[in-house]
Amino acid sequence: MKHRYLPMTEQDRQEMMEAVGIQSVEELFADIPQQVRYQGTLPMSEALDEYALLRHMKELADKNANFDTHTSFLGAGLYDHHIPVVINHVISRSEFYTAYTPYQPEISQGELQAIFEFQSYICELTGMKVANASMYDGATAFAEAAVLASGATKRKKLVVSRTVHPEARQVLATSAHALGLSIVEVGYRNGVTDQEQLAAAIDGETAAVLLQSPNFFGAIEDLAAMEPLIHAAKGLLVVSANPLALGVLETPGKLGADIVVGDAQPLGIPASLGGPTCGFFAVAEHLMRRMPGRIVGQTVDKNGKRGFVLTLQAREQHIRREKATSNICSNQALLALCASVYLSIMGKEGMREVGELNIRKSRYAAGKLAGISGAEAAFTAPYFNEFVVKLPEGANIPEINRQLLKAGILGGYDLGRDYPELAGHMLIAVTEKRSKTEIDQFASALEGCL
């Protein structure tokens, strides 16, 4: 064999070619005209042996700036949180790492139980009655929540705050366009949703109000004040939440949310250069049968022994198409397991402690950055671990971030990319991993770039 990892032998190749009546593999491409075929040798290296290949791939990987080589103050949806080493140990076990959809419960009890535990944790975190087995990510969960709200209320209008993550709003717009749903965006004031604009946008045709708290600016929304506005119009309240913040904030369920979604990335899932991540989706009990994806349930067998099964699957492949609520076809079981392991080892006290560390360290960082000449806090609304800094007039944030990168720092997010009115504003994320020394170095380096 030429390739040690490919089980195909030369005899296998000859037998297959004889079966189809050819003398060489090249004959398989005889129908492709010569004039459209690539002539010559591709500009690439010769075949590398295993050691040389691994060395070459490592050299390419080392060109990336990452959380091991650089200190990160970049959040905006993906965060540099501590990942306990036990998580990688558990998810690397072959029964989880290679598991596929658990259609046969009799041989998938471990996988099903892991998903059931994830659902249970999400319900406790969000204050909701039912959660599904997970979604692809927070943005798709957000869009699916809007679709659910439209189906449940038989209405086509969605009201969404501009403080929701811009990418989540883009995914929402794509789904809404395909389904003929209309979207009304409301503005913000002092970093949080403008409640007067929100009240004016809601009417009898509104299916749902969609909010994020902590929002894209890091600010905490007053959900309790906005909940009556949509419920008075008999619509639904959808809240996208940071699960780590729920260790210290009141649950959206207790504040009146009908649907709570979000991204579980802060719960022990690495950023991995942008993904994949794991979305979560939880609802009030009366909306359970409209949830996308699947639900794992706990039951007993004929001998009374505890067991787990796929209880509810409302997608096209399992029920009549006209009854389906979504075409979401899978879940992020392995990454949901990351979140479950994280939550299990942290516990309530650990979650509270991590949340408080994020709050205290972000407050310290905000104070240090406010001391830079010409810089100031953009908003005064309460925040969790992200905040917006207005830099001096004329500050070129892309150039500043290039200079910070050379200093070994991943700078904040340039809000001018998504909010023209916030040109010159930087979104800073400070997690529990950031030390006082790192924060001081960041403040000093940022001041040196201005």
Amino acid at 197: Q
pLDDT score of 27: 92
6 Cβ neighbours under 8 A, 6+ residues apart: none
Is the CB of residue 395 less than 8 Å from the CB of residue 422? no
Residue intervals of the chain classified under CATH 3.40.640.10 are 85-342
**Separation between Cα atoms, residue 43 and residue 52, nearest integer Å:** 18
Domain spanning 85-342, CATH class: alpha beta
For the chain, the three-class secondary structure string (H helix, E strand, C coil) is: CCCCCCCCCHHHHHHHHHHHCCCCHHHHHCCCCHHHCCCCCCCCCCCCCHHHHHHHHHHHHCCCCCCCCCEECCCCCCCCCCCCHHHHHHHCCHHHHCCCCCCCHHHCHHHHHHHHHHHHHHHHHHCCCEECCCECCHHHHHHHHHHHHHHHHCCCEEEEECCCCHHHHHHHHHHHHHHCCEEEEECEECCEECHHHHHHHCCCCEEEEEEEECCCCCECCCHHHHHHHHHCCCCEEEEEECCCHHHCCCCCCCCCCCEEEEECCCCCCCCHHHCCCCEEEEECHHHHHHCCCEEEEEEECCCCCEEEEEEEECECCCCCHHHCCECCCCCCHHHHHHHHHHHHHHHHHHHHHHHHHHHHHHHHHHHHHHCCCCCEECCCCCECCEEEEECCCCCCHHHHHHHHHHCCEECCEEHHHCCHHHCCEEEEECCCCCCHHHHHHHHHHHHHHC
**Separation between Cα atoms, residue 392 and residue 372, nearest integer Å:** 9
- Closest to 369 measured CA to CA, from 417, 409, 406: 409
Count Cβ atoms within 10 A of the Cβ of residue 283 and give its class: 0-12 exposed, 13-18 middle, 19 or more buried: buried
- Closest to 414 measured CA to CA, from 405, 424, 429: 424
Q: What digits encode the pLDDT tens for the residues 105-118?
A: 888 899 999 999 99
Is the CB of residue 186 less than 8 Å from the CB of residue 213? no
pLDDT score of 71: 97
79 φ, ψ (degrees, to nearest 5): -125, 155
pLDDT score of 324: 67
pLDDT score of 1: 44
Task: Verify cis geometry, omega within 30 degrees of 0, for the bond prior to 214.
Answer: yes
Residues shown for the chain: 450
Dihedral, CA atoms, 100, 103, 104, 107, nearest 10 degrees? 30
Per-residue model confidence as pLDDT tens for the chain (450 residues)? 456 677 788 899 999 999 999 999 889 999 999 999 988 889 988 888 889 999 999 999 999 889 999 999 999 999 999 999 999 999 999 888 887 778 788 888 999 999 999 999 999 999 999 999 999 999 999 999 999 999 999 999 999 999 999 999 999 999 999 999 999 999 999 999 999 999 999 999 999 999 999 999 999 999 999 999 999 999 999 999 999 999 999 999 999 999 999 999 999 999 998 889 999 999 999 999 899 988 999 999 899 999 999 888 755 555 566 666 777 777 899 999 999 999 999 999 999 999 999 999 999 999 999 999 999 999 999 999 999 999 999 999 999 999 999 999 999 999 999 999 999 999 999 999 999 999 999 999 999 998
Amino acid at 64: N
CA 355 vs CA 228, 244, 384, 407, 431: distances in Å: 28, 6, 8, 28, 9
Find how far residue 149's CA is from the centre of its chain.
Answer: 21
Is the CB of residue 332 less than 8 Å from the CB of residue 276? yes
pTM: predicted TM-score of the whole model, two decimal places: 0.89
85 Cβ neighbours under 8 A, 6+ residues apart: none
**Separation between Cα atoms, residue 220 and residue 381, nearest integer Å:** 7
Query: Do the strands 157-161 and 206-213 form a parallel or antiparallel pair, or are they unpaired?
Result: parallel
The CATH superfamily holding the domain 71-81+347-449 is: Aspartate Aminotransferase, domain 1 (3.90.1150.10)
**Separation between Cα atoms, residue 271 and residue 137, nearest integer Å:** 12
- Closest to 313 measured CA to CA, from 15, 103, 55: 103
